[in-house]
Amino acid sequence: MPKNSESIKSKKEGKCGFVDGYFTGKAEVYCEQISAGAKLAALLVCRRESLQRVLRLIGQEELRFVISGWTKTQVNVWIFKYGFVRKLIAATGRNKTPTAASVWATGKLFGYSDAEIGTYLYRHGLVKSTFRLESNPPEYSGNPPSRKGA
């Protein structure tokens, strides 16, 4: 009996080690992207058991984090570098119904290109066209617009 229970215990530890490695690996990639300036922030959903390891890694990279969305088994960890991003993160959760502006802002926060965000907005019906010129663009005379009252 002890032999079987030891075998089961080692399988559980092996699985936890793999899962912890998965979350820390994902956190490392996010940290590298943020440090390099490829994105302003990343959102990592990780197991609560992996949280301390992930936070230690974020600290080693001299980045910041915000924890949100606790459940019994997992937690959301926002990773970012600059203080102003904390306000952007807070603003992402306010809008329950996505708007074109909120989706664009969130896409930029995560480092998506304008083309990818535009395609997403179009596919989800938040805009009617993407990167085509309007059929009747306003004419430009070459003169600066007049300023009334100046």
Q: Detail the DSSP E strand segments found in the chain.
A: 41-47, 64-68, 74-80
Say if residue 16 is in the same domain as residue 60.
yes
Write the pLDDT tens digit of every residue in 34-61: 999 999 999 999 999 899 999 999 999 9
CA–CA dist 5, 68 (Å, integer)? 36
Which residues are CB-neighbours of 69 under 8 A, at least 6 positions away?
A: 45, 75, 76
Q: Detail the DSSP E strand segments found in 10-110.
A: 41-47, 64-68, 74-80
Say if residue 66 is in the same domain as residue 124.
no
Residue 11 has pLDDT above 50, yes or no: no
Number of structural domains (the chain) is 2
Residue 146 has pLDDT above 50, yes or no: yes
Say if residue 21 is in the same domain as residue 52.
yes
Say if residue 76 is in the same domain as residue 122.
no
Which range marks the domain in which residue 63 is found?
A: 2-82
Residue 84 phi/psi, 5-degree rounding, is -65, -20
- How many of the other CB atoms lie within 10 Å of CB of 82? 12
Taking the whole predicted model, whether its pTM rises above 0.85 is answered as: no
Say if residue 61 is in the same domain as residue 117.
no
Residue 50 phi/psi, 5-degree rounding, is -90, -5
Question: What is residue 47's DSSP assignment?
Answer: E
Residue 56 forms part of a structural domain:
yes
Say if residue 61 is in the same domain as residue 38.
yes
Residue 73 has pLDDT above 80, yes or no: yes
Which one has a higher pLDDT value, 19 or 142? 19
